[in-house]
């Protein structure tokens, strides 16, 4: 082997470790995961963190495909906020909405185009055009202006061919920011844009009709639009425009997509900031009385996007009234009947005495009666616990002053199952305190060590870097 510089050696070791340990040899695929967990990192069927944000979802036969933004943590400042440059989109497939298989990246940056490596590309969405037997992908692109880029493929799994900007029939490009799509039961399809704009798409879905439909909400400065239809009611969901900061998202209903729309205000408790998330899509499953629409949102972590997670919650529908009155950290859904239920964490609880803390951790009694945690503000302080079982979960106190911790699983011989997973403990929601923040993949039953590290990193909006642990469970 040629002599290597220390940097070359580090890069080589990182690469070698990743290759040697990656793969599904440690995942239990005989009894896969059965629960949807919100606000925690998800792992794919190979045990790697799912990197899919601002997602769109499409069903083909009995398979669901999830397309989203692939992100890294290389941010750059834009208009007082941070953003990441386009590194490609990601695509996953699942039969049950719980176990997701990573597929080849459907689209990568193309130099000197509107989806170049110097552009921002966000919120990809997919539609299937039956007439042309073609999947059409829409994504918000920002270079010198905000536009919609499109790509097509004859297979949902791609690869997708870039087709340039989406244009109106008169040839002018559609301008805008966050986007969503909606396909009606009659096959017609619509592009949803910032500020509640809705445009019907042409028959081939590759251009837009110039005249916008009536806007569902009167307020402007809205983004992250999503639409779905249950029975004969159209539901339009959207966030306010507060960048990566979460806000109380709104909804409107109508009995025709052409309106008139009724402003129904917010659908989550005020101040919950949509359970600390921003809407991206809604998926309806089941049939008959058991029909359930699943709210799909993003919990963004500004400046540390890899820690950003999916928040999927079952929408409560009474008549045409929509709500998410309670947050469901762990739940399960029957896709055939649409019935869902909460799942309790039945794991054995590890107490502080079972955890080895190294460094400057402090035991704190919290304001809420009976609540306590163990916290540290010192970078690289570690907390480790040995467990025997298939899955471990971590609960922490979340609030506006906490930072990003990492979690890593090691075998009993000390070798790691994979890289550290970033976990953000910041929230600006009224829902603070004891929260499920990490759930491991379902592993082959064995003895493992869970290692938590203080990183010194934080969400751009957080006032501190402290990390804390309240409880660890294993089953
Ligand atoms: C909002 C949008 C995201 C992204 C960020 C940028 O959260 O919904 O898609 O553009 O702002 O700050």
Q: What is the pLDDT of residue 77?
A: 61
Of the residues 85, 147, 226, 278, which should be mutated to test ligand 1's pocket, given the most ligand atoms within 8 Å of the CB? 278
Q: Which numbered atom of ligand 1 lies nearest the CA of 79?
A: 12
Q: What is the pLDDT of residue 18?
A: 36
Q: For residue 238, how far is its CA from the centre of ligand 1 (angstroms)?
A: 12
Collect all residues with Cβ–Cβ distance below 8 Å to 319 and sequence separation of at least 6.
none
Q: What is the pLDDT of residue 7?
A: 42
Q: What is the pLDDT of residue 152?
A: 98
pLDDT digit string (tens) for 363-400? 999 877 778 899 999 999 999 999 999 999 999 999 99
Cβ–ligand 1 distance for 44 under 6 Å, the answer no
Nearest-CA residue for atom 12 of ligand 1: 243
Cβ–ligand 1 distance for 223 under 6 Å, the answer yes
Q: What is the pLDDT of residue 134?
A: 98
Q: Against a cut of 0.85, is the pTM above it?
A: yes
C-beta separation of 105 from 90 below 8 A:
yes
Q: What is the pLDDT of residue 353?
A: 87
Cβ–ligand 1 distance for 243 under 6 Å, the answer yes
Q: For residue 129, how far is its CA from the centre of ligand 1 (angstroms)?
A: 28
Residues in the chain with pLDDT values less than 50: 1-22
Q: Which numbered atom of ligand 1 lies nearest the CA of 81?
A: 12
Cβ–ligand 1 distance for 333 under 6 Å, the answer no
């Amino acid at each position: 082997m040629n002599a290597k510089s220390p940097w070359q050696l580090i890069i080589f070791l990182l690469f070698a470790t990743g290759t040697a340990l990656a793969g599904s040899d440690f995942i239990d695929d005989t009894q896969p995961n059965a629960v949807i967990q919100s606000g925690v990192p998800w792992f794919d069927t190979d045990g790697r963190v799912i990197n899919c944000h601002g997602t769109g979802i499409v069903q083909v036969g009995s398979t669901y495909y999830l397309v989203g933004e692939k992100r890294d943590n290389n941010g750059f400042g834009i208009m007082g906020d941070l953003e990441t440059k386009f590194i490609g989109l990601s695509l996953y497939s699942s039969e049950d909405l719980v176990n997701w298989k990573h597929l080849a990246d459907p689209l990568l940056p193309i130099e000197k185009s509107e989806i170049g490596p110097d552009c921002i590309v966000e919120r990809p969405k997919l539609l299937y055009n039956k007439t042309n037997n073609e999947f059409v992908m829409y994504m918000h692109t920002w270079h010198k202006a905000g536009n919609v880029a499109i790509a097509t493929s004859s297979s949902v799994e791609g690869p997708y061919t870039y087709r340039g900007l989406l244009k109106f029939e008169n040839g002018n490009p559609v301008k805008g920011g966050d986007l969503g799509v909606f396909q009606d039961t009659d096959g017609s399809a619509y592009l949803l844009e910032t500020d509640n704009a809705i445009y019907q798409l042409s028959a081939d879905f590759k251009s837009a009709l110039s005249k916008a439909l009536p806007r569902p909400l009167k307020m402007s400065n809205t983004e992250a639009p999503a639409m779905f239809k249950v029975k004969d009611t159209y539901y339009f969901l959207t966030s306010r425009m507060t960048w990566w900061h979460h806000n109380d998202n709104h909804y409107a209903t109508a009995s025709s997509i052409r309106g008139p729309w009724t402003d129904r205000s917010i659908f989550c408790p005020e101040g919950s900031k949509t359970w600390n998330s921003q809407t991206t899509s809604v998926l309806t499953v089941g049939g008959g009385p058991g029909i359930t629409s699943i709210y799909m949102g993003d919990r963004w972590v500004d400046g540390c996007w890899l820690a950003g997670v999916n928040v999927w919650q079952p929408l409560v529908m009474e008549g045409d009234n929509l709500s998410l009155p309670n947050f469901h950290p762990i739940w399960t859904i029957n896709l055939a009947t649409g019935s869902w239920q909460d799942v309790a964490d039945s794991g054995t609880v590890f107490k502080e005495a079972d955890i080895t803390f190294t460094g400057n951790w402090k035991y704190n009694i919290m304001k809420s009666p009976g609540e306590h945690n163990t916290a540290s503000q010192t970078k690289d302080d570690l907390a480790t616990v040995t467990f025997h079982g298939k899955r471990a979960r971590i609960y922490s106190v979340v609030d506006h002053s906490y930072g990003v911790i990492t979690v890593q699983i090691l075998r009993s011989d000390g070798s790691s199952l994979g890289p550290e997973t970033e976990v953000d403990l910041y929230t600006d929601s009224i829902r603070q305190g004891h929260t499920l923040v990490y759930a491991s993949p379902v592993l082959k039953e064995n003895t493992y060590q869970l290692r938590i590290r203080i990183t010194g990193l934080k969400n751009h909006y957080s006032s501190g870097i402290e990390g804390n642990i309240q409880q660890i469970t294993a089953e």
